[in-house]
């Protein structure tokens, strides 16, 4: 398994493609806006003009697109050009219904082997090949695509053989990520509201039972007011919306997630949607 097509070369897809190239895989890339894909040519990737062109003759396809609708649209046009039995690793964050029903049905229609394989991590882990892959697919599919997962990830979690379970676990993990970022913003905003140096909060929890590395990464961004995007506010709006909907569908109280989602939406509506999700801080102290 050597030839891979990466469809979607935004922040995450670009890093993943570079990690595959470093691992010696033969990578073809495509993006709806070609200019986002062309820089990868300098790293050794082929840049395709269409998604169908990108998947022709490959062993595996990796999709890293915005949502379930965009994945379905792109792959509906691409899969007829892919070899029969092609491996399709769907790594975007989509709804449980898309991951477990709609997209597997699309794969089956075209004879593709589908893996529900969302990833945990942002820009830097994607660039370094240190993502965590949450794979839900038959073991034979996971074994066949292992060179790709080994290239992009520090580890692969074999969630189950049922498509949709990888996405379920991704939404569980993202519920924690979104909440801790919003909670960090709340704490730093409150410290500032009290007239305290918010660095005192970070120093106080450092090394304690409630410490987390992510708290300091996002907290420092909030204190400095600098938000270069690793994962955007717009992305957090999408994901927290998916999580809240899934919580209601499972009978789980979504009150906290609804509040978190509302703060990310407020930050996006204030013009911070393309900044890092740490810019949710602006919703607490505009």
Q: SS3 for 132-153, per residue?
A: EEEEECCHHHHHHCHHHHHHHE
Last residue of a domain, one of 161, 180, 209: 161
Which of 178, 179, 181, 193 has its CA nearest to residue 285? Answer: 193
Q: CA–CA separation, 264 vs 279, rounded Å?
A: 8
Q: CA–CA separation, 209 vs 28, rounded Å?
A: 45
Is residue 91 domain-shared with residue 151, that is, in the same domain?
Answer: yes
Residue 286: its pLDDT value, please? 77
The pair of structure tokens assigned to 234 is 């717009």
Is residue 250 domain-shared with residue 224, that is, in the same domain?
Answer: yes
Q: What is the pTM of this model?
A: 0.96
Q: CA–CA separation, 163 vs 93, rounded Å?
A: 13
Last residue of a domain, one of 126, 144, 161: 161
Residues 6+ apart with CB under 8 A from 25: 2, 3, 4, 147, 148, 151
Look at the block and give the residue holding tokens 């053989």.
161
Last residue of a domain, one of 161, 189, 214: 161
Is residue 131 domain-shared with residue 191, that is, in the same domain?
Answer: no
Residues 6+ apart with CB under 8 A from 202: 215, 216, 219, 220, 223
Is residue 43 domain-shared with residue 139, that is, in the same domain?
Answer: yes
CATH number (domain holding residue 273): 1.10.1040.10
CATH number (domain holding residue 19): 3.40.50.720
Is residue 17 domain-shared with residue 70, that is, in the same domain?
Answer: yes
Compute CA distances 239 → 71, 91, 108, 109, whole Å.
15, 14, 26, 28
Is residue 247 domain-shared with residue 196, that is, in the same domain?
Answer: yes
DSSP state of 83: P
Is residue 149 domain-shared with residue 182, that is, in the same domain?
Answer: no
Is residue 16 domain-shared with residue 56, that is, in the same domain?
Answer: yes
Residue 198 has phi, psi (to 5 degrees) of -65, -20
Is residue 130 domain-shared with residue 201, that is, in the same domain?
Answer: no
How many domains does the chain divide into? 2
Is residue 111 domain-shared with residue 203, that is, in the same domain?
Answer: no
Tell me which residue range forms the domain holding 208.
168-284
Q: CA–CA separation, 174 vs 157, rounded Å?
A: 16
Q: What is the CB-side half-sphere exposure of residue 264 using CA atoms within 13 A?
A: 31
Is residue 11 domain-shared with residue 144, that is, in the same domain?
Answer: yes
Q: What is the pLDDT along the chain (286 residues), one digit of tens a residue?
A: 799 999 999 999 999 999 999 999 999 999 999 999 999 999 999 999 999 999 999 999 999 999 999 999 999 999 999 999 999 999 999 999 999 999 999 999 999 999 999 999 999 999 999 999 999 999 999 999 999 999 999 999 999 999 999 999 999 999 999 999 999 999 999 999 999 999 999 999 999 999 999 999 999 999 999 999 999 999 999 999 999 999 999 999 999 999 999 999 999 999 999 999 999 999 999 7
Residue 1: its pLDDT value, please? 74
Is residue 172 domain-shared with residue 154, that is, in the same domain?
Answer: no
């Amino acid at each position: 398994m050597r030839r891979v097509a990466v469809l979607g070369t935004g922040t995450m897809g670009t890093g993943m493609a570079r990690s595959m190239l470093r691992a010696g895989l033969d990578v073809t890339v495509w993006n709806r806006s070609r200019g986002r894909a062309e820089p990868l040519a300098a790293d050794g990737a082929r840049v395709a003009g269409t998604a169908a062109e990108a998947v022709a003759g490959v062993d595996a396809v990796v999709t890293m697109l915005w949502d379930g609708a965009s994945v379905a649209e792109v792959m509906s046009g691409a899969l007829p050009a892919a070899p029969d039995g092609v491996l399709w690793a769907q790594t975007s964050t989509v709804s449980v219904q898309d991951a477990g029903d709609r997209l597997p049905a699309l794969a089956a229609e075209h004879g593709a082997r589908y893996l529900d394989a969302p990833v945990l991590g942002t820009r830097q882990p994607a660039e370094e090949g240190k993502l965590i892959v949450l794979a839900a697919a038959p073991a034979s599919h996971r074994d066949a695509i292992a060179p790709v997962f080994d290239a992009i990830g520090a580890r692969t979690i074999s969630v189950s053989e049922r498509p949709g379970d990888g996405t379920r676990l991704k939404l569980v993990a993202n519920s924690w990520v979104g909440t801790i970022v919003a909670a960090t913003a709340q704490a730093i905003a409150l410290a500032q509201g009290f007239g305290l140096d918010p660095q005192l909060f970070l120093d106080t929890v450092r090394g304690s039972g409630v410490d987390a590395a992510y708290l300091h990464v996002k907290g420092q961004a909030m204190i400095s007011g600098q938000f270069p995007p690793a994962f955007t506010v717009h992305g957090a709006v999408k994901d927290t919306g998916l999580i809240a909907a899934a919580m209601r569908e499972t009978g789980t109280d979504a009150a906290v997630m609804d509040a978190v989602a509302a703060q990310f939406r407020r930050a996006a509506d204030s013009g911070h949607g393309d900044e890092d999700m740490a810019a949710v801080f602006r919703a607490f102290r505009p």
